[in-house]
Structure 1
């Protein structure tokens, strides 16, 4: 059986179509998402905290509301609440106004025109440096105008920037895990569907029934070779994302292995089902694409399923790719253990059992 597995693996590697769907297609998407910046939103969410009862805070809020790229969050949160919102990724910027900012205070020295004012803080999270500098450039003239009197060679610092660590992973890291699941799905479904359909058309499956080789060994070797290629596929995609584009994997990489194997088994079973319905390799490839491409978009590969309208988010979560991607992201990006993602693993195991039963029922040798 080992020799048969190795032979199947070699045939897959030598097949250009298999290599393309397994490696090059997902890597093209990795490069595309790595080269282009999809993280800068059109509008940044801003909240004002601290002393929000001064004329300056009212004026600042009014001016922020008039800027197209800024969205003022109401009502104003507390400082700690605002920090928590940034950490969770629910807020982009927090402007903290010190007590009495902009009100008349004793001057540093007679005639200097400079007031002893604690600076305003601009707290940000995972925003890009370009976006932070842009927002600073918008807020700073307002803070300067509130406290600076006569022009002086030495002006006080009226705005201080502060960064906090966020739990929200960068968009590229999120998409990278989605591309791992997507690559395994498309390859597993299309590759096995085309191969089995081709074997059936060439009467290879029918001839296998009269050979001394147990038919289960033939399929076990085929599945094992496909699982091995799926693991290699995941390793290559993650390696390119980390080494070339600086993606971070905070969890235990070995914990990703059971997710990859379970997900691959589900899609291999779907591939066997597709091969039973298709009358030719071309039809198997087309039908595999019909199944995999909608799942690619609706299961959250590139965006959260919560953004889908109406009841679609609930339907998307039922797709087999959705729990696979969720488990990959929880383990890889948030350091979750296998126990932490047991609902997703159980859902995948259920899909394995259901699709395996369906594949056995509909499979045909001729």
Structure 2
């Protein structure tokens, strides 16, 4: 315990004195949260803009409260020049153009450049047409839909951004700190001195893991505290505390990747480059920055084998979607199993001395 405490204290002091490490591990990921959280803090459901050319009964017949509700999702501007309206649709200034001929056919023209906007416009107009048809028959609807959101009532993008960016920050910090520390210690012969000193390998490993876990938990506390401020408005679910064991297991998992990188790299530059090659693609393919649910099946299959994908998904579940132990335990077990396998591989390449 004495060796463990001494080594841990030295590692913490070294980390705090290294301004570049402190910036990239703590401040840099937080800057992403502040940037994306500020840019998208008012983002909600897509609001479409369409032009109406001439009389369109399905739009003109909507009055009163229905018109107010329609205005929340659709901005309608009247255009007299059809050619000019089409030019605005092609340019992207408008999401669609709607008009009606003498036979009652409603024609919607839209641009496929933005699939989300195009889908929203089609769905809204189709709903209006169906309502108009129902009203024309004079018969009450046979079925009604009551939609209830199962997650937290907030629809702010911060609910998605915080767990994803936090997972990315944990992965980046664990991989880079472990890999660069190992290479630096080997190059400066610190590993050789530790091996010859009356210090067990277990104490060395435990102190390194302990410092990395403490750093990750500090990252988590800062992220959640900032995201929960009124400026961003993150709303936590009742089982948010499950993020703590997830962070610990995730840190250990990504440390194993850093150990493998540090074991096969001979210089800090090589370790940094190899870590970048691993972490950056994994961050984008694992849903840390944006959802990959609609990605091609082959890309989705690759994402499923990445530990960051499962960490981010479970963090989203327990932090903002009301998930519980059933969502966290399988992920924690998988992360620890992944760590054991990768650590075993890294051990075969590990060398106490510089080659």
TM-score (norm 2): 0.71
- Which residue in the other structure is 2:200 paired with? 214
Q: Secondary structure at the match of 1:340?
A: helix
Match among 121, 133, 137 for residue 71 of structure 1: 121
The partner residue of 1:224 within 210, 223, 226 is: 210
Please list, as runs of the form range in 1=range in 2, the aligned pairs for 1:272-291 lying within 5 A after superposition. Answer: 272-291=259-278
Alpha-carbon spacing, 1:37–1:210, altered in 2? closer, same or farther (3 Å): closer
For residue 212 of structure 1, report the CA deviation from its aligned partner.
Answer: 0.9
Quote the RMSD (CA, aligned, Å): 3.6
Q: How does 1:1-366 map to 2 (within 5 A)?
A: 1-37=4-40, 39=43, 65-66=108-109, 70-73=120-123, 97=131, 101=135, 165=149, 167=151, 169-243=155-229, 244-366=231-353
CA contact (8 A) 1:9 1:229 kept: no
Gaps in structure 1 of 5+ consecutive residues: 46-52, 77-92, 105-117, 126-163
Distance 2:14 2:129 in 1: 60
User: Shift of residue 20 of structure 1?
Assistant: 1.7
Aligned length: 287
With the length of structure 1 as denominator, give the TM-score of the two structures: 0.69
Contact 1:299–1:322 under 8 Å retained in 2: yes
Mapped to 2, the partners of 1:279 and 1:100 lie a distance apart of 73
SS in 1 for 2:237: coil
The change in CA–CA distance for 1:193 and 1:72 in structure 2 (over 3 A counts) is: same
Query: What secondary structure is seen at the aligned counterpart in 2 of 1:71?
Result: helix
Query: Cα distance 1:100–1:272, how it changes in 2: closer, same or farther (>3 A)?
Result: closer
| Maintained 8 Å contact 1:273/1:359 | yes
1:64–1:71 Cα contact (<8 Å) kept:
no
8 Å CA contact 1:256, 1:328 repeated in 2: yes
